[in-house]
Amino acid sequence: MKILIDFFPILLFFGAYKMYDIYIGTGVLMAATVLQMALIYGIDRKLQMMHKVTLALVLVFGTLTLVLHDDRFIKWKPTVLYAAMAIALAVAVWVYKKNFLKMLLGSQLTLPEPVWMRLNVWWVGYTAFMALINAYVAAYYSTEAWVNFKLWGYAFPLVFIVGQGFYISRYLVSDEPKAPTP
């Protein structure tokens, strides 16, 4: 259910763009993101910082797109989001010596400190990569190509997250008691 909530704004944006244009798609994306955040809040009774930042960026860049009738704003929103994430994760760990991933997920996952550090570095690299690839597609390709990239580009985060799952699975401690050895 939660994965459906995560993907429905981009799917609705894609459908509205294909049926109408980038401006209708942007309005649909803005409304769907507000609804998405309301659903997440209804389920969890809170919004994570990432949710708040995403909502703010969608609304600000979407409004600029609609008011100025310039699709470059909505196309650059993912670049700004991913670049901000890369910078925040990098500064937190290398300047302030705080690992945001561990702070966010440490209560759910018990992992050795070097694994948390590797995950953080991988997230810095991944978000920087996503910022760069979105910037490249937004700058050098048509709006049609960018919209298609936004939909099919979801393969990148899926592959990244599945890869992380395989990596951390060997470090997870089982809650099941081990059978005594004779």
Q: List, in sequence order, the alpha helices (H) in the chain.
A: 2-19, 22-44, 49-68, 72-94, 100-105, 113-140, 143-152, 155-169
> What pTM, to 2 d.p., does this model score?
0.85
Query: If phi over 0 gives left and psi between -120 and 50 gives alpha, with beta otherwise, what is residue 75?
Result: alpha
From first to last of the 182 residues of the chain, give the pLDDT tens digit.
676 788 899 999 999 999 999 999 999 999 999 999 999 999 999 998 888 999 999 999 999 999 999 999 999 999 999 999 999 999 999 999 999 889 888 888 889 999 999 999 999 999 999 999 999 999 999 999 999 998 888 889 889 999 999 999 998 866 555 555 55
For 144-163, write each residue's pLDDT tens digit. Answer: 999 999 888 888 988 999 99
DSSP state of 174: P
Place of tokens 């470090």: 171
Confidence (pLDDT) at 142: 96
Q: How far is CA 129 from CA 22, 92, 110, in A?
A: 25, 19, 27
Q: In a 10 Å sphere around its CB, with 0-12 CB exposed, 13-18 middle and 19+ buried, how is residue 168 labelled?
A: middle
CA distance 81 to 61: 11
Task: Answer whether 32's CB lies under 8 Å from 13's CB.
Answer: yes
Residue spans per domain, the chain: 1-68, 71-173
